[in-house]
Amino acid sequence: MKALSEADVDLLLLIRHFEMALLDLYARGEVSGTTHTCLGQEYIPVALAPLLHVNDFIFSNHRGHGHYLARTGDPEGLLAEILGREGAPCQGVGGSQHLHRDRYFSTGIQGESLAVSVGVALHEKRMGRASLVAAYIGDGTWGEGAVYEALNLAQLWRLPLLVVVENNGIAQSTPTERHMAGTVAGRSAAFGIAHHLVRSTDISRIRAELAPRISRVRTRHEPLVVEFVTSRLGPHSKGDDTRTSDELAAVRANDWYTDYAERRGESFLAADARQRQRVAAITEAVLRRPLCTWEEAG
């Protein structure tokens, strides 16, 4: 594994401990509604972060806390939004799944973001801008017709669209092989769209592979589907994990956290403690804030 910056490791561990704290807050009754964590998938948005420019658009999904933190570096605002406390970027109305900050958007509706992404990508191309649109989806989203309508138009109109597929092998509680015929690569090929498969959790290697490919999306307006074969360590949402103990053990055996800890040693442990303490302090501070208030429009 090539050397990573301290900032990269801190961000990885910030996302990990943020999600762990969120599950604890839910268990304590501090979180209203539901929440979906990205435990096990944190390295994906961290790897992509420097490859996406400030003027690019990011469309996230229901499992988007890591995407948001990699984009904004704002755990205080995210936690305030989820808990409905003052300082929330959407005044607590968006909650865990429906966030908007600058050029970052998320939605809990499967497939919606990809259709909207195509419209935004078309607008950016018509304006002659050098920005691209990145849309995160999961393997389960490939059951939505909007995905195929979006891919068709993205290729037909040659749009700067990057589709990031986080294939964690399970859609809520249904294994991918039980709900999806064929492959993501095959479905991308049906529209003539390039597909790149990533199995590694090595962030430096991922960036080296993707940098020239993402550059082509931006400069040549060539749509690209990047599929990450990854693992979801936690439940779909809250505590609703239907996998067996053996299945969960196999998933945890592939956790990037263990590999990074073994390779980086004491520096990793120090960063881990630092981010654990940081998240604990943020949690305590945000919980002391008053609840959000707002007035209905005119």
Instruction: Render pLDDT for 51-92 as a digit per residue (tens, 0 to 9).
Output: 999 999 999 999 999 999 999 999 999 999 999 999 999 999
Distances (CA, A) of 118 to 113, 148, 153, 179: 9, 11, 7, 25
Stretch 137-146: mean pLDDT: 92
Of 81-85, 199-203, 248-252, 260-264, the one with minimum mean pLDDT is 248-252
Q: How confident is the model at residue 6 (pLDDT cuts 50, 70, 90)?
A: very high
Q: What is the pLDDT of residue 298?
A: 61
Nearest Cα to 184, choosing from 232, 138, 115?
138
Stretch 204-213: mean pLDDT: 97
Q: What is the pLDDT of residue 228?
A: 98
- For residue 213, the one-letter residue type is R
Strands 57-60 and 104-106 turn out to be parallel
What CATH fold (topology level) applies to the domain 6-287? Rossmann fold (3.40.50)
- pTM exceeds cut of 0.75: yes
Sign of CA dihedral 51, 280, 97, 141: positive
Alpha carbons 129 and 138: distance in angstroms, whole number? 28
Q: What is the pLDDT of residue 1?
A: 45
Q: How far is CA 42 from the centre of its chain?
A: 8
Contact at 8 Å (CB) between 61 and 140? no
In sequence order, which residues have a C-beta less than 8 Å from that of residue 28 and are 6 or more positions away? none
